[in-house]
Amino acid sequence: AQSVTQLGSHVSVSEGALVLLRCNYSSSVPPYLFWYVQYPNQGLQLLLKYTTGATLVKGINGFEAEFKKSETSFHLTKPSAHMSDAAEYFCAVRNRDDKIIFGKGTRLHILP
Amino acid sequence: DTAVSQTPKYLVTQMGNDKSIKCEQNLGHDTMYWYKQDSKKFLKIMFSYNNKELIINETVPNRFSPKSPDKAHLNLHINSLELGDSAVYFCASSATHEQFFGPGTRLTVL
C-alpha cells in the first residue's frame, strides 16, 4: 500500500532562511507526487506536482521540490522564507486508483 | 470565479440530527471527491465519483451518503450525527492529476 511520511509535524525557520520540508513516500509504481499548502481556515492549494520528466519541479510562491527515486523522497524547499509562508503543508502521492494519499502535514512557523 | 464551492461554510448541530453539505464545481471536471480533515489536520478520502458514478468508497459509516445529481455537483448527506463526526469536510474535483479543493465546511456536533 502506498503511504506518505512527512518528517516533523512542526518546523520553525527564521524569516529569510532556507525552508526544507521533508517527505518520503512508498509506492510500488512510478508515483505522481504533490505538495499542497493550507492557510488557516482555507482549503488546500496546489503548490507543485511531479508526474513525469524533470525531477526538479518548480511551483508557486518560490517553492520547488526534487523527486529522488533512489531515496523515495520529494522534499520541498524555498531559498528564503517569508512571513506569508506560515501555513500547513501536505505532501501527497496518487496511486493508480486515482486515490490521493496525504501525509499528516507539517506546520511551518516563520520566526521574525 | 469560484472553482469549487461548498455550502455551508460552518454547520453547528445537535447529535442525532441529519444534515447535508453541498458541493459544486464549475471546472468541467469529471471526478469529484469528499475528504474529512480531523482536529489533527489529518486528511482522509471518503468518497470519489466519476461522471456521477461512485468509484471510491472508503470505510465510512453508512450514515454518510454521497449524492451526485450531475457531474458538477456532489453532495454529502449525514444521518444521525455523532460527536466524532465533528471535522472539516472538503470537496474536491479533478480532471487529470491535480485536485482542486473547496474552502471546506466546518461541522461541529454538540
Contact B97/A32, CB-based, under 8 Å? Answer: yes
DSSP state of A85: G
* A108/chain B closest Cα distance in angstroms: 13
Mean pLDDT of A84-102: 88
Mean pLDDT of A83-95: 93
Mean pLDDT of A90-95: 90
Question: Does residue B97 carry a pLDDT above 90?
Answer: no
* A80/chain B closest Cα distance in angstroms: 26
Summarize pLDDT for B40-59 with one digit per residue, the tens. Answer: 889 999 999 888 888 888 87
* B103/chain A closest Cα distance in angstroms: 4
Contact A42/B103, CB-based, under 8 Å? Answer: yes
Q: Tell which wins on pLDDT, B73 or A28.
A: B73
Question: Does residue A79 carry a pLDDT above 90?
Answer: yes
Task: Report yes or no: B22 and B9 within 8 Å, Cβ to Cβ.
Answer: no
CA distance A64 to B51: 34
Summarize pLDDT for A29-69 with one digit per residue, the tens. Answer: 778 999 999 998 888 999 999 988 889 999 999 999 999 99
Contact A102/B102, CB-based, under 8 Å? Answer: no
CA distance A93 to B87: 23
Mean pLDDT for all residues in chain B? 92
Question: Does residue A13 carry a pLDDT above 80?
Answer: yes
Distances, alpha carbon B56 to alpha carbons A37, A101, B23, B51, B94, in Å:
24, 13, 17, 13, 14
Phi, psi of B101 (to 5 degrees): -100, 150
Residues of A in contact with B50 (CB under 8 A): 98
Q: What is the pLDDT of residue B67?
A: 92
Residues of B in contact with A97 (CB under 8 A): 56
Question: Does residue B23 carry a pLDDT above 80?
Answer: yes
| Single-letter amino acid, residue B108 | T
* Residue in chain A lying closest to B4 (CA): A43
Q: What is the pLDDT of residue A2?
A: 77
Q: What is the pLDDT of residue B81?
A: 97
CA distance B70 to B88: 24
Q: What is the pLDDT of residue B1?
A: 64
